[in-house]
Homo-oligomer: A and B are copies of this chain.
């Protein structure tokens, strides 16, 4: 048992990681448009066919790359959230961090949202866990600002708030935002968080 009849010194799992690393770099460098299975295979020193022994198809490979990016972003946001002490500033820092991560890793970030998974694959376990983790992360940092909210209200508020920040991020990245003289997105993300939180507190009084 063990390594039987193996020509290469890399195990299956090592090959998977090599492929993911190569794919991630390729996406980061050329975007989804410049991505191809052949390039990935060549970068990792194997041939195309071998990739299909590691991943069932291109979509699966890209889905795992997306997952990696989501992980990296989540960790980055946790770091960003650690600094500010005041709850509101912490939320604003998270929002700004979300956007700056997206701007820094533009192609990677866009892959997460432009790589379309057919609806029947929407209940991918790892992917959903990631999403709920992000929602709960926002929820956790929103909670101190809405002490009287019920769990359901809090959940709805976090969903709405994160959607809002995400929308600003999308438009900023894709250039579809009418900047109207604004230098960067930070004032707008601050405004969104501030107004939203203040509006929710108002609502409950």
Residues of A within 8 A of B (CB): 31, 33, 110, 113-114, 116-117, 119, 122, 131-132, 135, 152, 155-157, 159-160, 162-171, 174-178, 180-182, 187-188, 191-192, 194-200, 202-203
| CB within 8 Å for A176 and B113 given contacts A199-B200, A203-B195 | yes
- The answer to whether B159 touches A188, judged by C-beta atoms less than 8 angstroms apart, is yes
- The answer to whether B163 touches A188, judged by C-beta atoms less than 8 angstroms apart, is yes
In Å, the complex CA distance between A31 and B116 comes to: 10
In Å, the complex CA distance between A160 and B99 comes to: 14
- The answer to whether A199 touches B188, judged by C-beta atoms less than 8 angstroms apart, is no
A166 contact set on B, CB distance < 8 A: 167, 170-171
A113 contact set on B, CB distance < 8 A: 170, 174, 176
A159 contact set on B, CB distance < 8 A: 177-178, 180, 188
- The answer to whether A171 touches B163, judged by C-beta atoms less than 8 angstroms apart, is yes
A196 contact set on B, CB distance < 8 A: 164, 192, 195-196, 199
